[in-house]
Each structure stands twice: as structure tokens, then as C-alpha cells.
Amino acid sequence: MAFKKLFKEDATAARLLGVAEDKLKEIEGYIAIEIKEINERELAELNQELFDKLFGPGTVKSEAEMKEKIKEGIEKQFQQQSEQKLLNDVTEYLIDNTSFDLPAEFLKKWMQNSGKEPLTAVRAEEEYERSEKGIRYQLIEGKLIMKHDLQIKFEELKDYAKEMITLQMAQYGQPAPPEEELDGIVARVMSNQEETRRISDQLMSNKLLDFFKANAPLKEKKVTFDAFVKEAYGKA
């Protein structure tokens, strides 16, 4: 088959042939294609078997309940995105409107010598400029945590890890394990320092979000989905 007539778009041709787009012009004449497999997608029947696969046995029992479950999932996803947008906006506001001096020269020298390989003065300057906002927010956040007693206690962290694990299992249609077994899973997870830090950071974000909701002069704003995407991500 003549190569030039086989594909409508260069991107498709490059992907299927495994070459870069700028190399396509080097392919001349005819090419041979071997079809090894054909896949076909079929719509599933809206029955109890499908409902059980999607949501767990007996959770959903009709098409109307399925639609309601899907709606709840989408609403929850949008709520999480809107809360992340709120947290980002408050963070930016605090950084831009909280004035204090940083020991810039000291931090640049520290950056020069704190890594495995020393940095040049120019590289340290660039690194400082990239990190300045983050450093400022760390100091602001630390002050808020101390002043308003937002520290994370061990039992809080443990309970939050249990909640996360239970939710993750529910997403795969698995019931929550017995308390003793759940404690064992949490212990294994928290034996990993990196994982413990990740969970702790997430819990602290939730604590700060609740604090901002309760104390910041916020105004609720209802927008369409397209407007939200544009405002949150800068694109429609």
C-alpha cells in the first residue's frame, strides 16, 4: 500500500510506525503492514452484574442508582479540585501580602554548599529565586501552625491513614478489613518514612484548609464547569 495515502495525519503515522514526524519524509514508496490483533469494544448491559463490578456487590441495584452514584463521584471530584484551588489561592495571597525580610545572602551561600555538589554563585542565585516563594510560605505556615495549635498528633495521623486505606479499598469494591488487620496495614505503611511524610503533608493541608475556611474572609462563588477549568487551570 502506498505510504502517502495510508494515514490522514502525520502524528498518527509517526506513532504507528515508531518514527519521529520529521523522519516520515524519508519513507518512500510502499510499506507492508501485518495485522496481528483486532480489538472491539462492546457496550456492557445495564444489569446487576455490571453494577456489582463498578460499585461492589449490592451497593447499586438500578440504573437510576448508578447514575446517582456517578453524579456523587463527579461532585466529589469537583469539590476536591475547588478546595485545592482555594488552598492555592490563599497560599499565594499570604505570600504576596505578608512582608518580612529573608536572610538572602546567607541562604544563597547555604544553597551553594548544602548539596552533594557545590553550586556556583550564579546557580545559587537562580536556585534562590526559584525557591524564595516556597521558603516564605514555609515560614508563614510554621507560624500559623504554632500560633493556632495545628500540630499533627500521632493518633490523628494514624486515624487519617486508616481512613485513606479504607477509602482506597472501597474504590476497588473491597470491604474495610477488621480493626486488627487495619492496624497492621497502617503500621506497615507508617514504617516507610517517605509514605508517612506524604500522608502527614496531606493531613496538614486538610487542617490548614479547614482553618482558612473558618477564619479567612472568603466569598462563595458559583461558576460553570468551563469557567472553573479556565480559572483553575488557565485554559477552557
Average pLDDT, integer, range 39-56: 87
d(CA 148, CA 169): 34
d(CA 125, CA 107): 9
Average pLDDT, integer, range 136-147: 95
Instruction: With a cut of 80, say whether residue 6 has pLDDT above it.
Output: no
- Residue 119, burial from CB neighbour count under 10 angstroms (0-12, 13-18, 19+): middle
Q: For the residues of 111-171, what is the DSSP string, one character each?
A: HHHSSSSPPPHHHHHHHHHHHHHHHHHHHHHHHHHHHTT-PPPHHHHHHHHHHHHHHHHHH
Task: Report in angstroms the alpha-carbon separations of 52 from 44, 49, 61, 173.
Answer: 13, 5, 8, 8
CB 108 within 8 A of CB 124: yes
* Residue reference for cell 487495619: 182
- Residue 39, burial from CB neighbour count under 10 angstroms (0-12, 13-18, 19+): exposed
Average pLDDT, integer, range 186-194: 91
Residue 6 or 1, more confident: 6
What's the pLDDT score for residue 3? 66
18 pLDDT tier (thresholds 50, 70, 90): confident
What's the pLDDT score for residue 179? 86
Average pLDDT, integer, range 155-174: 84
- Residue 161, burial from CB neighbour count under 10 angstroms (0-12, 13-18, 19+): buried
Predicted confidence (pLDDT) per residue in 50-102, tens digit: 888 888 788 899 999 999 988 988 888 888 888 998 999 999 999 999 999 99
Q: What is the largest CA-CA distance in the chain?
A: 74
Average pLDDT, integer, range 145-154: 93
Residue 199 has a CB neighbour count (10 Å cut-off) of 21
% of the chain beyond a pLDDT of 90: 46
Q: What is the pTM of this model?
A: 0.67
